Amino acid sequence: MAGGEAEPFVEAVGGGTGLVGGQPDQRALAPPGFGESPGEPGSAEAPAAVRLEGRPDHAAGVLCGSISCMTELTDVSSAFGYGDSILAGQRVRLRGVREGDLPTLAKWEMDPGRMATLSSWVAPSSEAAAKERIAKWSANERDDLGFAIETLDDPPVLVGNIGLWGVRPKDRCATLGIALGREYIGRGYGTDAMRVIVGYGFREMGLHRIQLGVAPFNPAGIRAYEKAGFVEEGRYRESVLHDGRWYDEVLMSILDHEWAARRSSGQAAG
């Protein structure tokens, strides 16, 4: 990670196995089958107490980069509504990682089969190291942020984790990483979580750019990222070696004004 900080848990899509911020990234690629969603969720409606931009009674506010502010908080009720909705999607919600999550998240991180699709090499860490890394990455005490992904079922089910890291405040850029438990791939949870974290990055963190890397042998993941508005912008050629064969890393990104245009047309939730 840039700045010499310890790398977060995410052996996921963030930055891939190329260079992020000039530092080698040892974790990378999204799981195969990720994002096989049954359909596009509709755009989420804002709470009734929040006045939306474009309405006659909207008061002009400061610009958030190239996106004008999405909502105006007018009272405590509207603030509660915004806070309750900013991390919730159509199928999942993002929340802080709990102590009880660590054994499951560490077990998934140590899964050698999953590592072949998520990492530049298959080398599971110890359970203690995995738990420590996840806990540190998800403390959310600095610019980098990590969340657990849970379903909206009653009771909710933990299905993975997701985060924005390598944040460069001057450039307002972050790398996205996501990892689902192997048994939860292909159910649309990843697609929904992607939409939520992207909206959060632009609306709450004021980012201008969100980037990721993905393996070319993960076409379902690429489709999911495209559904969330990401576009391919290049490749690290032959940068990943598995079983004696070289693979590219596909680089994708989305910019704040692109997300805002999709949101105004109803393509982006959040």
- Chain-wide mean pLDDT for the chain? 78
Q: Answer yes or no: do 124 and 249 share one domain.
A: yes
Range of the domain at 19: 2-39+92-264
Q: Residue 54: how many CB atoms within 10 A of its CB? A: 8
Q: Quote the number of domains for the chain.
A: 2
Question: What percent of the chain has a predicted confidence (pLDDT) above 70?
Answer: 71
207 in the same domain as 130: yes
User: Tens of pLDDT along 27-73?
Assistant: 333 333 333 333 333 333 333 333 333 333 333 334 445 555 567 88
The verdict on residue 269 lying in a domain is: no
Assess whether 240 and 256 both reside in one domain.
yes
Mean pLDDT over 241-263 rounds to 94
Residues 51 and 138 in one domain: no
> Model pTM?
0.75
Q: Model confidence over 111-135: pLDDT tens digits?
A: 888 777 776 778 888 999 999 999 9
